[in-house]
Structure 1
């Protein structure tokens, strides 16, 4: 499993436990269920019957909770290192270089400041593309 997959699992796995409503259940604050999940058709393709409904997961409260639980002063909204630390994922330079490679970074990985800025934006964008609802001011 790649580092981004670990990030997704930490965020979306937490959302499944805390914020995503089960089919037919009342909506849960923080979870926005997409129209594709509201279908109650009984013609489910083979192998998809046990899948969770597609939902847009509100990332900010999950990360805010992770920061609070960390006992550290972390700013996940601006720092890839803090975002990783909040999720208890390796934030070492080696891990960040691996994440950069995984996400297609073409810059100099020895310029860690530039790489970190790019990584943060790329991770936020990729979370958004994968069903995460992220604060609009973080998407640019």
Structure 2
């Protein structure tokens, strides 16, 4: 699994985890079996719709209590999601996303990475404000 997949799973997984219903209590009647089957069908993962990336990250930032600038910093975004933000991981992420500049951890690379991650999240079903992708 690549670094971008870890980022996407960390964000999109929070939506899926919040939507999981409680497990039904076991009862032996046919009606309960039918009800359980319908509940299971309803709980089956739906195709990923639009995930409000900004809302999820804002809530996560508030919950963490850390002062992280995830809106502009790839390092802070990765830290917020509990992903190693080392230069080695950012280099790997840059290669995954097709960065062609120097893999030196420069401001140029990091800004490009942040915007590329936001664009990829949007391309994979995330609702991302335009100012985070430009």
TM bucket (normalised to shorter chain) is 0.7 to 0.9
Structure with bigger helix share is 2
Contact 2:115 / 2:132 at 8 angstroms: preserved in 1?
A: yes
Say if 2:10 and 2:81, in contact at 8 Å, map to a contact too. yes
Number of equivalent positions: 112
The corresponding residue for 1:13 is 13
Larger radius of gyration: 2
Q: In 2, distance between residues paired with 1:114 and 1:75?
A: 17
67-76 or 123-132, larger mean C-alpha shift:
67-76
Structure 2 portions without partners, runs of 5+:
22-43
After the TM superposition, list the runs of 4 or more consecutive aligned residues in structure 1 that deviate by more than 4 angstroms.
none
The alignment yields a C-alpha RMSD, in angstroms, of 1.8
| Counterpart selection for 1:132 from 116, 123, 126 | 126
Deviates more, 1:106-115 or 1:11-20: 11-20
Instruction: Report matched runs for 1:1-140 at 5 Å.
Output: 1-18=1-18, 50-140=44-134
**Are the structure 2 counterparts of residues 20 and 122 from structure 1 closer, same or farther at C-alpha, using a change threshold of 3 Å?**
farther
Aligned residue for 2:50, secondary structure, equals: strand
Which deviates further from its counterpart, 5-14 or 67-76?
A: 67-76
Distance 1:126 1:20, change over 3 A: farther
Unaligned runs of 5+ in 1: 22-49
